[in-house]
């Protein structure tokens, strides 16, 4: 039996003001149920986050661009979305505005962008997500945008072994 490789990626880039921001526990941002994220997967998921982040920063450095700072607060917002998708939610940018306003609560911003990916059956899910972003003009544009200085990146794994990536890019005020 062989596993097929599939990767899907989407991008949404939106300019929003920080006014009227909601907190990270606002409606539309589902809280992660720790029981749905098995402890044995936690280390693997953190390694995937670090590998994907490193690949994005290596790519930016190869172009002479500044590296992105991985912010734990932005990562928490991204983690909620990845977990929601892994727990059966739609693979989509639905709720992007709520994620952006949640970020605005702790980091006033000028622009926020989001890259999503999911894949399964790959030896290195982080490499596959990065490659799919790199080969998509809009995803690549977000990764290479010189205005972005901060990022949050999260990976969640579904019960059937699919990996869901959310990367948020932020230009603070």
Check pLDDT > 90 for residue 4.
no
pLDDT tens for each residue of 111-147: 999 999 999 999 999 999 999 999 999 999 999 999 9
Count of CB atoms within 10 A of residue 68's CB?
Answer: 21
Split at pLDDT 50, 70, 90, the class of 100 is very high
pLDDT for the residue numbered 40: 59
Q: What is the DSSP letter of 63?
A: T
Q: How far from 17 is each of 104, 146, 153, 157, CA to CA, in Å?
A: 8, 20, 22, 32
Question: What residues have CB less than 8 Å from 15, skipping those under 6 apart?
Answer: 110, 111
Half-sphere exposure at residue 27, Cβ-oriented, CA atoms within 13 angstroms: 0
pLDDT for the residue numbered 64: 98
Split at pLDDT 50, 70, 90, the class of 7 is very low
Looking at per-residue pLDDT, the higher value among 78 and 10 belongs to 78
CA-based torsion, 57, 58, 63, 66: positive or negative = positive
CA distance 160 to 173: 40
Give the pLDDT mean for 144-166.
97
Give the pLDDT mean for 84-99.
95
Percent residues over pLDDT 70 in the chain: 77
Q: Strand pairing partners for 114?
A: 12, 168
CA distance 127 to 20: 37
pLDDT tens for each residue of 22-55: 223 333 333 344 434 445 579 999 999 999 999 9
Please tell me the pTM assigned to this model: 0.80
* Closest among 153, 163, 165, 168 to 41, alpha carbons compared: 163
pLDDT for the residue numbered 41: 79
pLDDT for the residue numbered 143: 97
Q: What is the 3-state secondary structure (H, E, C) of 76-100?
A: HHHHHHHHHHHCCCCCCCCCHHHHH
Q: Which two tokens stand for residue 25?
A: 């526990």
Strand 150-157, strand 69-70: pairing: parallel
């Amino acid at each position: 039996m062989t596993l097929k490789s599939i990767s899907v990626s989407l991008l949404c880039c939106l300019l929003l003001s920080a006014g009227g921001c909601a907190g990270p526990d606002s409606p539309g941002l589902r809280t992660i149920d720790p029981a749905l994220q098995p402890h044995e997967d936690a280390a693997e998921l953190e390694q995937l986050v670090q590998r994907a982040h490193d690949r994005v920063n290596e790519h930016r450095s190869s172009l002479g661009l500044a590296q992105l700072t991985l912010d734990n607060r932005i990562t928490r917002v991204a983690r909620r979305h990845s977990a929601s998708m892994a727990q059966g939610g739609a693979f989509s940018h639905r709720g992007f505005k709520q994620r952006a306003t949640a970020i605005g609560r702790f980091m006033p911003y000028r622009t926020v962008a989001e890259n999503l990916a999911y894949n399964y059956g790959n030896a290195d899910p982080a490499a596959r997500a990065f490659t799919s972003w790199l080969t998509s003009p809009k995803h690549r544009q977000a990764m290479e945008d010189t205005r972005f200085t901060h990022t949050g990146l999260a990976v969640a794994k579904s019960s059937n072994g699919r990996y869901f990536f959310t990367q948020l890019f932020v230009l603070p005020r």
